[in-house]
Structure 1
Amino acid sequence: MAPRRLLFCLDESKQSVRALEWTLLHLRRASDELHLVTVLPPLAYNVYPVAPVATGAAVAAVTHQWDAQRRAEEHQAAEVLRAAVDLVCTQHNKVPRDLVHTQALPAAGGASGVAESLVEYARVQRIDLAVVGCRWVG
């Protein structure tokens, strides 16, 4: 059989890790490429306190806040992907590293941007099978 490209979208939740393990046990073939992807949340553009006139210092402070927020989210995404690679390459089935691809995607469009980012990634990478969970927002 020809190798397939499997897309697995994950986050830092225990449910995500369990779903990845299930995918590796039940769906993955030895020759399949595994694309591990996480989607960065859209930036929360909270500007406070609100001032009638934006000063240079206020704009710089907000920009710094956005940059710090994005760096923290990118760091968290890198940790999630690093743990997933460790799981699939060393702990579970010992998937060869050259068959594992990782990507932290920016949110693109929509309410959260997750679906749009994943669909575009799947289209560009010609993904054969995608495994995604649900968000436990409550």
Structure 2
Amino acid sequence: MLRHINPEQIECRKMIYAPTLAAAILRLHFHDCFVRGCDASVLLSSTHGVGGGNNMAERDAPPNRSLRGFVSVQRVKSRLEAACPSTVSCADILALMARDAVLLASGPYWPVPLGRRDGRVSCAAEANRYL
């Protein structure tokens, strides 16, 4: 029997005890959307010598070095993956988390259409150009 996982409640307790996390998650989402669209490419790691490649990812670009919230997104993704393997995109998770974080901080609600696809390319040069 599949138990229901409510993604909105996974990080709610943390948001209550760490109110600055709401701004951090919204900023993370903003930085993601302004580079390649809302594709969660800001969550990808740099590849230094992995498979012969050497790419500095968006998250390691100077404008993104002070971003926070990566651990919270990973925690939500892990919980959702355990319940619904290969179903939920990181891009949707980040968009929902940003909306819900703002809502928890007494900000406005906005509808979040789902179905985003996760990016597979992340380039620090693009983050430097667009942020």
Whether the TM-score (by the shorter chain) exceeds 0.5 is no
TM-score normalized by the length of structure 2:
0.29
**Higher strand proportion (structure 1 or 2):** 1
**Higher helix proportion (structure 1 or 2):** 2
Which one has the largest radius of gyration?
1
Q: More relative contact order in 1 or in 2 (CA 8 Å, sep 6+)? A: 1
